[in-house]
Homo-oligomer: A and B are copies of this chain.
Amino acid sequence: MLRLMILPQTKILAVGQIKESCILEGMHEYLKRMKGRIEIVEIKDSTKEKESIEITRKLEKLDRFLTVALDEHGKEMTSLEFSEFIKNNFNKNLCFIVGGPDGLDKSILEGVDHTLALSRMTFTHEMARLLLVEQLYRAFSIIDGKKYHRG
Contacts and interface: CB of A to CB of B under 8 A. Distances in A.
Interface of A: 20, 22-23, 25-26, 72, 76-79, 81-82, 101-103, 118-124, 127, 131, 134-135, 138, 149-151
Taken together, the copies of this chain in the complex come to 2
21 contacts: A20-B26, A22-B22, A22-B23, A22-B25, A22-B26, A72-B78, A72-B151, A76-B120, A76-B121, A77-B121, A78-B122, A81-B120, A118-B121, A119-B119, A122-B138, A122-B150, A122-B151, A123-B131, A123-B134, A124-B134, A127-B131
A121 B83 CA distance: 11
Most buried by B among A77, A81, A119, A123: A119
A121 B22 contact: no
Given A22-B26, A131-B127, A79 B151 contact: no
